[in-house]
Amino acid sequence: MSNETLQAIRGMNDILPDEAELWLWFEEVVRDWLASYGYRNIRMPLVEPTGLFKRAIGEVTDIVEKEMYSFEDSLNGDQLTLRPEGTASCVRAVLQHNLLYNAPQRLYYSGPMFRHERPQKGRYRQFHQVGVEALGFTGPDIDAEQILMCARLWKKLGLSDVTLQLNTLGDAEARLRHRAKLIAYFEQNLALLDAEAVRRLHSNPLRILDSKNPAMQAMIEAAPKLMAELDEAALTHFAAVQAILTQHGVAFEINPRLVRGLDYYNRTVFEWVTTRLGAQGTICAGGRYDGLLEQIGGKAAPAMGFAMGIERLLVLLQEAGMPLPKPKIDVYVVHQGELAANLAFVLAEQLRDLGLRVILHCGGGSFKSQMKKADASGAKLAAVIGDDEAAVNEVSLKPMQGGAQIRVSVQNIGATINKLIKQE
């Protein structure tokens, strides 16, 4: 066996304790925010049958064609995939457990997703999303509410550099008409298409509109517009979403080229973008997927959702000057001598009974070196126990930010500690 130090897989990151403080803080903010809109948590497996993603996301998408971590279960030969996103799994779970039987559902999940992309800043192979799905709602109210929700979160997080891009993809019939016109148009311009576009010409012509190839931009700009094919119902829906956003002061830009990289969308689609993260500027994206439930074998029901990339959001927060939150420790217990060690154990447990966060010094060492550790821990107080104190069941409390040391009996320590901590 090689002695080489083992490394994490490229594009799959460790989140070390200092940074994890930020994640914990963020997760708490997000939990409160979701609860304030009545969304409830759902947790799905990280691994699903490959067929689920093929059917939901679409065979001719970057995700399904090139980015999925798929493998054969060596025990039974099943084709499995590490989830590249959460919507397909969430819908599968809702259908499997008949959650839509009597009532629509507002659900959210969070956790790792896996895509075999080329890693760069803001783009990873294991990344984390918070996903939000409202199932059983026809909109446009829920569409607008989800977008307003995002705006509220950005405000709560203190993010100002994010803008909203909005589009409608219309309904299936309009998209079929548009697709036929697009194919005809691209066939007329065959000489201008790159290899990727030629490959997608008949399988997924809409995605050609998403191409970043500068040589194709003018031709794409002049391509037939979906907007021209939309029927009255889809246009009314889109207008109503915009009206609610405007009424609530949420600015947006209509971007007719916003088509999204997953095939399940119809009508409202949106992305929140920032220019502060370079090429990976989309921090949150989603839309309506009224056809998906039926497409994966359930009874038809309308739905709308979005997901945000946690890594991107946290980088954005830090770039906006947000400091890493500090761990919150109330008391660090310093002790020396056998009698003192016994009392230190008792004291630490007693303080935890009071709801305090306590580090009991372990591993010995001089008072001086223990005090250094107490300082580095960020604790508000050091509780110091030497043989003197232990002999009379007392503790010396020392505020770490300065202030007089006071000696108190272990029995009455709760009130004194609470007072000292509140003064901090």
Task: Give yes or no for a contact between 70 and 38, defined as CB atoms under 8 angstroms apart.
Answer: no
Q: Report the chain's terminal Cα–Cα distance, integer Å.
A: 54
Pick the stretch among 30-38, 160-168, 236-244, 307-315 that binds ligand HAM (CB under 6 A).
307-315
Residues 96-155 that bind ligand HAM (CB under 6 A): 115, 117, 122-124, 127, 129, 131, 133
- Closest to 274 measured CA to CA, from 161, 165, 164: 161
Among 130, 174, 209, 307, binds ligand HAM (CB under 6 A): 307
Pick the stretch among 79-87, 94-102, 173-181, 389-397 that binds ligand HAM (CB under 6 A).
79-87
Lookup: tokens for 8: 């994490």
What single-letter DSSP state applies at residue 12? Answer: B
Q: Is residue 226 close enough to count as binding ligand HAM by CB under 6 A? A: no
Pick the stretch among 237-245, 303-311, 332-340, 346-354 that binds ligand HAM (CB under 6 A).
303-311
What character string, x for contact with ligand HAM (CB under 6 A) and - otherwise, covers 257-296?
A: ----xx-------------------xxxxxx-x-------
Torsion angle (degrees, nearest 10) of CA 58, 61, 66, 314: -100
- Cβ distance to ligand HAM smaller for residue 234 or 316: 316
Determine the Cα–Cα distance for residues 100 and 249; give it in Å rounded to an integer: 33
**Residues in contact with 62: Cβ distance below 8 Å, sequence separation at least 6, in sequence order:** 261
**CB 169 to ligand HAM: min, Å:** 12
**CB 116 to ligand HAM: min, Å:** 9
Lookup: tokens for 398: 């020392």
Determine the Cα–Cα distance for residues 381 and 345; give it in Å rounded to an integer: 16
Query: Closest residue to ligand HAM, Cβ-based?
Result: 309
Collapsed DSSP state (helix, strand, coil) of residue 211? coil
Lookup: tokens for 286: 């989603």
**CB 209 to ligand HAM: min, Å:** 16
**CB 289 to ligand HAM: min, Å:** 6
**CB 375 to ligand HAM: min, Å:** 37
- Cβ distance to ligand HAM smaller for residue 123 or 380: 123
- Closest to 417 measured CA to CA, from 382, 389, 367, 393: 382
**Residues in contact with 309: Cβ distance below 8 Å, sequence separation at least 6, in sequence order:** 122, 127, 128, 129, 282, 283, 284
Among 170, 205, 302, 309, binds ligand HAM (CB under 6 A): 309
**CB 124 to ligand HAM: min, Å:** 4
Q: Is residue 92 close enough to count as binding ligand HAM by CB under 6 A? A: no
Name the packing angle between helices 310-319 and 17-35 (round to 10°): 110
* Contacting positions for ligand HAM (CB under 6 A): 85-87, 115, 117, 122-124, 127, 129, 131, 133, 261-262, 282-287, 289, 305-309, 311-312
